[in-house]
Amino acid sequence: MNRIKRLAGRGAIALALLVIASPALAEWVLNMPEGVTSTSREVYSLHMQIFYIVVVIGVLVFGAMIFSIVRHRKARGVKPAQFHHSTGVEIVWTIIPFLILVSMAVPASTTLIDMYDTSGADMRVKVTGYQWKWHYKYMDEDVAFYSTLATDSNYARRLGSGVDPTSVENYLREVDNRLILPTNTRIKFLMTSNDVIHSWWVPELGWKKDTVPGYINETWTEIQEPGVYRGKCAELCGRGHGFMPVVVEAVEPERFQEWLAAKKEGDTAAAKAALDRASGDAVARR
C-alpha cells in the first residue's frame, strides 16, 4: 500500500511540474493545424469530435479495468465469481459500439463527399508538377508561370556554398513566383504532372493531392483568410524533391483582380504593387 501511495505522490509532483511548465509548452503544438479554408476547418472539427469520443471510451474502459483489478485482487481475498453467457450484455455491447461507429461515420462521410464535390467553382487553376518545380495556369485567363525554389535558398543549399542555412529567411520554403489566389472564392484545381508523380500539399488548406502524369485530379478550396501559406511536394519524386516548395498567397478578391490585370499586361511592377497593397491591407486590419 505504501508503495502505491509513494507512486501516487510522485505522479502528483510530476503533474504539478507539468502545469507549472505549461506556458513554456504553449509553443509545443501537438495537434493538427486548424487551417484557413472551409474544408480544413471541417476536417479539424471532425478530428476533435472523434478525439473526444475516443478519450471518453479510453477513460471508461481503462477506469473499469483498473477498478476491477484493484478492487477484486486476490490479495483482498476476493473469490472469483462463476458465471457465463449473458444475452442482455452481449446485445448491449454490440449495439453501443454500432451507434458510436455510425455517429462517427455520418459526419466523416459528409465531409468527404463535400471535399470531392468540385462543382460550382468561381475560377480554375491548373497545377502541373515538374522535376523539380511547379507550373500554375489560371484557366480562362492568359496567365501562367513556373514557381521554383527562391534563389537564396537554392544557393545556400549547395554543398560548400559557405552560407549558413539558418541565416536564410524561410529556407527551402520560399519560391520566386507564389501562387496568388483570391480569398472567399471557390477555386477548382486541375492537377497533373509532366514527368513523375508529385503531390501538391499546403497543410493550411486541409488537403493534399497527387499530381499524376497522364491524369487530371480535381479538387477545390475556398480560403477564408488572407495570408501566405507554405507547403511542399509530398511525394518522393527524385533528387530535387526537397527543393520544390509550394507557396500560396491569398489576397482579397479586389487585390487579386488588380494583380491579375497587371500580370496579363506583363507589368511586373504593377503586379508587385498590387501584392504590396494587399499585405498593407493585412497590416492595417491587425
Q: Which is nearer to Cu ion, 100 or 196 (CB)?
A: 196
Could you tell me the smallest distance in angstroms from the CB atom of residue 132 to Cu ion?
A: 7
| Cβ proximity of 144 and 137 under 8 Å | yes
DSSP 135-201: EEEETTTTEEEEE-B-HHHHHHTSTT----GGGSTTTTS-BSS-EEEETT--EEEEEEESSS-EEEE
**Given 241, 243, 261, 273, the residue binding Cu ion (CB under 5 A):** 241
Could you tell me the smallest distance in angstroms from the CB atom of residue 167 to Cu ion?
A: 26
Give the residue carrying C-alpha cell 514527368.
195
Q: Which stretch binds Cu ion (CB under 5 A): 143-151, 187-195, 211-219, 226-234?
A: 226-234
What count of residues does the chain have?
286
Decide: is 208 part of the binding site for Cu ion (CB under 5 A): no
Instruction: Report how many residues bind Cu ion under the rule CB under 5 A.
Output: 4
Cα 187 to its chain centre, rounded Å, is 18
Could you tell me the smallest distance in angstroms from the CB atom of residue 241 to Cu ion?
A: 4
Decide: is 233 part of the binding site for Cu ion (CB under 5 A): yes
DSSP secondary structure code for residue 223 in this structure: B
Could you tell me the smallest distance in angstroms from the CB atom of residue 198 to Cu ion?
A: 5
Residue 47 in grid coordinates:
478530428
Task: Considering only residues 172 through 201, tell me which ones interact with Cu ion, judged by CB under 5 A.
Answer: 198
Could you tell me the smallest distance in angstroms from the CB atom of residue 244 to Cu ion?
A: 6
Q: Which is nearer to Cu ion, 227 or 242 (CB)?
A: 242
Decide: is 237 part of the binding site for Cu ion (CB under 5 A): yes
- Closest by CA position to 145, among listed 250, 272, 266, 274: 266
The dihedral built from the CA positions of residue 240, 245, 246 and 248, taken in this order, carries a sign that is negative
x/- site string to Cu ion, residues 42 to 61, per CB under 5 A? --------------------
For Cu ion, the binding residues (CB under 5 A) are 198, 233, 237, 241
